[in-house]
């Protein structure tokens, strides 16, 4: 028999868009009048689904609509989704910060959230005083905190500053201290939202390790919300993908990640033109540009191909393609022309440029495509015409989950020889 | 371990609030938080000031001096055998407790939106902590009042405590609860309609003139008999008048008036609590 610790039934949350001001009072009164007569709230029937990019007709939206799921004891469940999919709203309802509009949540254990660490920290108070205050805010009693004080201080690694006001701490130290307090909370259900985005690599590793301990050793349940897919993948067993306030997918974590990765917006994987409208000139035109991968999503560990189709209208002219790659911060990463300049016969061609595996780093990259003619003149330049968000499988990270910087991330050869 | 029955849940989160739900057990569980909030309030006031807690004293002392000059020396309000300064100080000390409770709690949701938006704890802890930390502030101010009381006594003024002084703590408690009740009410309404925070600013100022802080109620009855009832039905005025009666043995007090004040306080407190309770579940969406 499954040991269900948390049961979410038909949870919906409605928000009103725009100004809360004029009109609020009349709606309030109308709602109240319906309630007095024992009728249903008239504004519950209306409302659009929550799609940020389209213009809705109603001023009410459903941030969450009919969410149903169950969580087993000891499970680490990932909640993933694009910005605005309803993740935070769901977590807010779970942590009792806001009430749902309809539905109910039943729980067999205390729920504590690490929504944003450092909540309620007071700069004027010392680290020690803040441990007590923060712990109490998170639901611990003074006795509980006192008994764990040494451990908390040790875990935070801020021993030296513990009697200094927190306002003199570096931001990293504040986070460490705050996470340390939260990590020693002992709720049956822990909600973790993006805490790992801060702190240095060493601390992230420590934090992830602690979370693993919590779920495996302590048999406690963790709901984990993160955009750090590597951390999600290594920590969670099951995932829920939210989209526009509804559950798009629920199941094992690998499949959930695939669903999530397959519909990342704002990225153009392929562009095609009709020959009449295609960019170029009378000598040659580009027909299409496309990014492909053998994998079902783009990742560091697999190679990425950029395929450019073009038409050559003139016999025996040299046409070649060139690409430039920019990252999401608009840094120019590299340029690579096709150096093979051989005269081509009339006809359609497909140039494929292969970006090797373990080469580009994680993140978004934008590809500019240039078609170059006989005399090195530019026939057509398509700035950032296709783009990709590269993820990683993390196969060669060996347990390191921290940020891995750099424009590129090649897998370089290392040797370790004993010399003495 | 036995398998738990499916309906055996520790707690349930639902949209509809029961008409009145106050989980005393939960509040009790968070009592340490209450004390830590009080400690925080006090520590942060002391920090980075040269005069520190002396600021608590400067305000009532200077206000009392100003009132004495304006209302007693210039306007000629008669305080009988009681030194006007002491008369004013008594009124201001008690009035201050009320306003600081009201001001502090009326801002609860707005100023704590950040923390309320992230973690759950019984929200009432916050206004309660304000009332408690203001009680300490009141204690300091009251201590100064006692010092001046002794000073005037030694100077030969005829000052007598009233036997009803035993009820003084009760009076202060009802002042606190009245401030808390109104504060919770206003803080709940401010989340939706910001108008109330503007109203409160000058409302408190006006209320002070209607609350017998710097004059005895009797004076109004004599000079403006038509409007005396406004003051008499104002529970704050009544509390201030009564506390002066207890401390300085001046003014008039009736049992009926005390009962009336208590009733108003209890009503205000429960209405405030009710609205506060309703607001805390969803205010984060509107604030």
ipTM: 0.79
The verdict on a CB contact (< 8 Å) between B43 and A93 is: no
Distance (Å) from the alpha carbon of A136 to chain B's nearest alpha carbon: 5
Q: Which helix (H) or strand (E) holds A348?
A: strand A347-355
Other Cβ atoms closer than 10 A to B221: 15
Cα–Cα nearest to A174, from A122, A237, A105, A102: A122
Q: Distance from CA of residue A381 to its chain's centroid?
A: 32
Q: What is the pLDDT of residue B16?
A: 57
Closest B-chain CA to A2? B3
pLDDT of A1: 56
d(CA A88, CA A97): 11
Lowest-confidence pick of A114-128, A230-244, B52-66, B117-131: A114-128
Q: Please, which pLDDT band fits residue A57 given cuts at 50, 70 and 90?
A: low
Residues of chain A positioned with their CB less than 8 A from the CB of B8: 108
Instruction: Please report the pLDDT score of residue A21 as a whole number.
Output: 47
Which residues between 17 and 76 in chain B have a beta carbon less than 8 angstroms from any beta carbon of chain A?
Answer: 17, 29-30, 32-33, 35-37, 39-40, 43-44, 47-48
Q: Where in chain A is the domain with CATH 2.70.50.60?
A: 270-390
Please state, in angstroms and rounded to a whole number, the distance separating the CA atoms of residues B231 and B210.
Answer: 6
Phi and psi at residue A67, to the nearest 5°: -90, 125
Q: Are A193 and A113 in contact (CB under 8 A)?
A: yes
DSSP string, A30-94: HHHHHHHTTPPPGGGS--EE--TTSPPSSSEEEEEEEEEEEEETT-EEEEEESTTSSHHHHHHHH
Residues 6+ apart with CB under 8 A from A189: A5, A6, A71, A107, A109, A110, A111, A112, A220, A221, A222, A223
Task: Categorize the per-residue pLDDT at A322 as very low, low, confident or very high, splitting at 50, 70 and 90.
Answer: very high
Pairwise CA distance, residues B53 & A336, whole Å: 70
Report the distance separating Cα A303 and Cα A288, nearest Å. 20
High-pLDDT (> 90) share of chain A, %: 18
Residue of B10, B116, B194 to mutate when probing chain A, most A C-beta within 10 A: B10
Q: In angstroms, what CA-CA distances link B53 with A37, A123, B36, B50?
A: 55, 19, 19, 9
Cβ(B159)–Cβ(B151) below 8 Å: no
Q: B13 vs chain A: nearest CA distance in angstroms?
A: 5
Backbone angles phi, psi at A99, to 5 degrees: -90, 150
* pLDDT at B1 exceeding the cut of 50: no
A304-312 and A320-327 as β-strands: parallel, antiparallel, unpaired? unpaired
pLDDT at A4: 86
CA separation for the pair B163, A27 (Å, rounded): 55
> Strands A221-225 and A189-193, how do they pair?
parallel
Name the residue facing B13 among A3, A4, A104 (closest C-beta).
A104
d(C-alpha A96, C-alpha A11), whole Å: 13
Q: What is the pLDDT of residues A289-320, one digit of tens each?
A: 999 988 778 888 889 999 999 999 999 999 99
Summarize the confidence of residues A93-97 as an average pLDDT. Answer: 84
Q: For residue range B249-263, list pLDDT tens digits in order.
A: 777 777 888 888 899
Write the CB contacts of B130 (distance below 8 Å, at least 6 apart in sequence).
B41, B101, B104, B105, B108, B183
- The reported pLDDT for the residue numbered A39 is 66
Phi then psi for residue A168, to 5 deg, are: -95, 0
Give the residues across from A408 on adjacent strands: A360
Compute the average pLDDT of residues A337-349: 91
Measured at the alpha carbon of residue A260, what is the angle toward residues A255 and A264, in degrees to the nearest 5? 150
Instruction: Name which of A295, A317, A248, A324 is nearest A87 in CA terms.
Output: A248
Give the chain A residue whose CA is nearest to the CA of B126: A137
Question: HSE on the CB side for A49, CA within 13 Å?
Answer: 11
Residues of B in contact with A122 (CB under 8 A): 40, 44
The average confidence (pLDDT) of chain A is 82
Percent of chain B with pLDDT over 70: 93
Q: Are residues A338 and A307 in contact, defined by beta-carbon separation less than 8 angstroms? A: no
Cα–Cα dist A230/A226, whole Å: 10
Indicate yes or no: CB of B36 within 8 angstroms of CB of A24: no
Mean pLDDT over residues A185-197, rounded? Answer: 73
Q: Residue A254: in which H helix or E strand, if any?
A: helix A253-262
Q: What is the pLDDT of residue A22?
A: 46
Nearest to B36 among A97, A99, A132 (CB): A132
Please tell me the distance in Å from B43's CA to the nearest CA on chain A.
Answer: 8
| The most confident of A17-21, A49-53, A117-121, by mean pLDDT | A117-121
Q: Tell me what pLDDT residue B222 has.
A: 81
- DSSP notation for A394-417: -TTSTT--S---SSB---------
Domain boundaries, chain B: 37-285
Chain A residues touching residue B285 (CB < 8 angstroms):
15, 98
- B9 close to A (CB below 8 A): yes
Q: State whether the Cα torsion A30-A33-A37-A38 is positive or negative.
A: positive
Question: Tokens for A280?
Answer: 């170029």
Q: Which pTM value belongs to this model?
A: 0.70
Q: Which CATH class is domain A4-110+187-262?
A: alpha beta
Give start-end residues of each CATH 3.40.50.300 domain in chain A.
4-110+187-262
Asked if the A270-390 domain carries CATH number 2.70.50.60, the reply is yes
The residue to which tokens 């590793």 are assigned? A205
Nearest Cα to Cα of residue B285 among A46, A65, A20, A31: A20
């Amino acid at each position: 028999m499954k040991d269900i610790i948390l049961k979410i039934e038909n949870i919906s949350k409605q928000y009103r868009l725009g100004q809360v001001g004029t009109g609020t009072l009349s709606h309030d009164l109308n709602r109240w009048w319906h309630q007095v007569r024992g009728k249903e709230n008239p504004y519950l029937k209306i409302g659009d689904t929550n799609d940020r990019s389209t213009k809705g007709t109603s001023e009410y939206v459903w941030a969450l609509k009919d969410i149903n799921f169950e969580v087993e004891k000891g499970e680490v469940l990932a909640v993933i989704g694009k910005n605005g999919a309803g993740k935070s709203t769901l977590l807010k309802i779970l942590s009792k910060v806001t009430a749902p509009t309809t539905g109910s949540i039943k729980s067999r254990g205390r729920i504590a959230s690490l929504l944003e660490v450092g909540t309620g920290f007071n700069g004027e108070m010392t680290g020690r005083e803040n441990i007590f205050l923060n712990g109490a805010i998170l639901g611990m009693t003074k006795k509980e905190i006192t008994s764990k004080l040494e451990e908390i201080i040790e875990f935070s690694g801020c021993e030296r500053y513990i009697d200094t006001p927190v306002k003199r701490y570096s931001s990293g130290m504040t986070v460490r201290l705050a996470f340390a307090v939260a990590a020693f909370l002992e709720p049956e259900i822990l909600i973790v939202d993006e805490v790992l985005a801060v702190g240095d690599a060493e601390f992230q590793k420590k934090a992830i390790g602690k979370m693993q301990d919590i779920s495996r050793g302590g048999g406690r349940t963790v709901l984990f919300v993160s955009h750090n897919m590597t951390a999600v993948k290594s920590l969670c067993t099951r995932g829920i993908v939210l989209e526009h306030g509804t559950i798009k997918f629920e199941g094992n974590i690998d499949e959930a990640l695939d669903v999530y990765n397959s519909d990342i917006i704002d990225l153009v994987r392929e562009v095609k033109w009709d020959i009449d409208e295609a960019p170029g000139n009378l000598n040659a035109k580009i027909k299409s540009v496309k990014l492909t991968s053998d994998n079902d999503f783009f990742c560091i560990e697999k190679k990425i191909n950029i395929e450019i189709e073009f038409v050559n209208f003139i016999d025996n002219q040299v046409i070649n393609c060139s690409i430039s790659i920019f990252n999401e911060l608009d840094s120019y990463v590299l340029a690579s022309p096709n150096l093979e300049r051989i005269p081509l016969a009339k006809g359609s061609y497909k140039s494929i440029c292969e970006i090797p595996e373990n080469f580009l780093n994680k993140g978004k990259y934008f590809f500019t495509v240039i078609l170059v003619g006989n005399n090195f003149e530019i026939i057509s330049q398509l700035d950032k015409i296709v783009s990709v968000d590269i993820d990683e499988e993390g196969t060669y990270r060996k347990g390191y989950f921290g940020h891995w910087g750099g424009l590129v991330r090649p897998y370089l050869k290392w040797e370790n020889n004993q010399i003495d | 371990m036995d398998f738990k029955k499916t309906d055996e849940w520790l707690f349930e989160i639902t949209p509809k609030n029961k008409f009145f739900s106050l989980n005393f057990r939960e509040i009790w569980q968070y009592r340490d938080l209450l004390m830590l909030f009080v400690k925080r309030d006090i520590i942060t006031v002391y920090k980075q000031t040269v005069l520190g807690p002396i600021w608590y004293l400067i305000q009532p002392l200077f206000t009392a001096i100003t009132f004495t000059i304006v209302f007693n020396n210039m306007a000629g309000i008669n305080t009988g055998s009681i030194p006007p300064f002491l008369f004013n100080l008594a009124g201001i000390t008690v009035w201050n407790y009320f306003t600081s409770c009201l001001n502090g709690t009326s801002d609860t949701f707005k100023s704590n939106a950040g923390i309320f938006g992230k973690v759950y704890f019984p929200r009432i802890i916050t206004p309660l902590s304000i009332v408690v930390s203001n009680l300490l502030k009141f204690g300091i101010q009251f201590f100064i009042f006692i010092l001046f009381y002794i000073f005037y006594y030694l100077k030969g003024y005829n000052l007598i405590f009233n036997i009803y002084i035993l009820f003084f703590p009760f009076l202060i408690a009802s002042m606190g609860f009245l401030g808390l009740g109104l504060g919770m009410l206003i803080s709940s309404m401010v989340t939706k309609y910001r108008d109330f925070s503007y109203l409160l600013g000058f409302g408190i100022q006006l209320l002070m003139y209607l609350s017998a802080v710097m004059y005895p109620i009797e004076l109004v009855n004599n000079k403006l008999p038509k409007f005396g009832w406004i003051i008499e039905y104002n529970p704050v005025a009544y509390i201030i008048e009564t506390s002066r009666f207890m401390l300085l043995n001046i003014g008039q007090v009736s049992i009926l008036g005390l009962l009336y004040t208590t009733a108003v306080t209890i009503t205000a407190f429960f209405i405030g609590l009710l609205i506060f309770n309703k607001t805390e579940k969803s205010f984060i969406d509107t604030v």
